[in-house]
C-alpha cells in the first residue's frame, strides 16, 4: 500500500485491498478530527477490464496481461471459470489458460468488489463522505448491461472503471451524510 500521511490527510493509491473495511478503519484511526482520506480505486472488478490479468507468457512465447488481454470486456463477469477456460483455449495453451482462470477468479491479488460494495463500505465506515464519484466512464452496450444486471441482482454500475472518494474523519458534532453535491448511487 502506497500511502502518504500527515495528522490531517492520508492519500492512498492502492486499490487491491482484500480487507477494505480494515484499511478504512486503520486510516480513520490514523487521522485527527477533520482529517481526510483521498483515495481512488481503478480498475475495479465491475469494470470492463476488472479482470486484472497479470502479465503471463504462454508456452509459445505469446504475452498476455492486463493491457494485452484475450478476455472480452466484462468477460470475467459474464463467463464462469469453465467458460473462461474454454474461451482462453482459443488464444493460448491449456496450462496458461488454467493459470489465467486462476488469476481472474481465485487469486488473492485482487478484491473483486463491485462499485456498490465500495460505496457500502464507505457508508458503513466511521468516515463522513465529502466526495464520491465514479471515474473513467465507458459505455456499456444495453444487452451487456442487461446481462450483467440479471447475473448480479442489485448491481447497476458497470460503466465506470473506478471510484474517487474523499472521506473525512468527523470532528465532534459532524454527521456522516453525503453532502448535497455528492454523487448518489
26, three cell numbers: 486503520
Give the model confidence (pLDDT) of 130-164 as tens digits: 999 999 999 999 999 999 999 999 999 999 999 99
* pTM exceeding 0.95: no
Give the model confidence (pLDDT) of 101-119 as tens digits: 999 999 998 889 999 999 9
Nearest to 21 by CA among 118, 155, 163, 133: 118
CA–CA dist 114, 120 (Å, integer)? 10
How many Cβ atoms sit within 10 Å of the Cβ of residue 80?
A: 10
Torsion angle (degrees, nearest 10) of CA 74, 123, 40, 150: 10
Q: Of 1.10.3720.10, 3.60.20.10, 3.40.50.150, 3.40.1580.10, which CATH number belongs to 3-46+111-168?
A: 3.40.50.150
Contacts of 149 (CB under 8 A, 6+ apart): 155, 156
CA–CA dist 177, 117 (Å, integer)? 17
Q: What are the residue ranges of CATH 3.40.50.150 in the chain?
A: 3-46+111-168
Give the model confidence (pLDDT) of 56-83 as tens digits: 999 999 999 988 999 999 999 999 999 9
pLDDT at 110: 87
Amino acid at each position: 500500500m502506497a500511502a502518504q500521511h500527515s495528522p490531517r490527510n492520508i492519500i492512498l493509491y492502492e486499490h487491491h485491498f482484500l480487507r477494505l473495511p480494515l484499511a478504512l478503519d486503520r486510516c480513520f484511526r490514523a487521522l485527527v478530527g477533520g482529517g481526510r482520506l483521498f483515495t481512488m480505486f481503478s480498475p475495479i472488478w465491475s469494470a470492463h477490464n476488472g479482470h486484472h490479468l497479470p502479465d503471463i507468457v504462454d508456452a509459445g512465447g505469446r504475452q498476455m496481461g492486463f493491457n494485452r488481454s484475450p478476455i472480452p470486456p466484462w468477460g470475467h463477469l459474464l463467463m464462469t471459470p469453465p467458460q473462461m477456460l474454454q474461451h482462453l483455449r482459443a488464444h493460448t495453451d491449456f496450462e496458461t489458460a488454467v493459470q489465467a482462470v486462476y488469476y481472474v477468479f481465485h487469486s488473492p491479488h485482487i478484491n473483486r468488489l463491485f462499485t456498490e460494495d465500495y460505496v457500502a463500505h464507505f457508508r458503513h465506515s466511521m468516515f463522513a463522505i465529502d466526495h464520491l464519484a465514479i471515474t473513467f466512464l465507458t459505455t456499456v452496450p444495453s444487452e451487456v448491461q442487461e446481462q450483467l444486471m440479471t447475473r448480479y441482482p442489485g448491481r447497476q454500475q458497470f460503466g465506470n472503471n473506478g471510484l474517487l472518494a474523499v472521506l473525512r474523519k468527523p470532528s465532534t458534532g459532524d454527521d456522516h451524510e453525503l453532502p448535497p453535491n455528492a454523487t448518489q448511487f
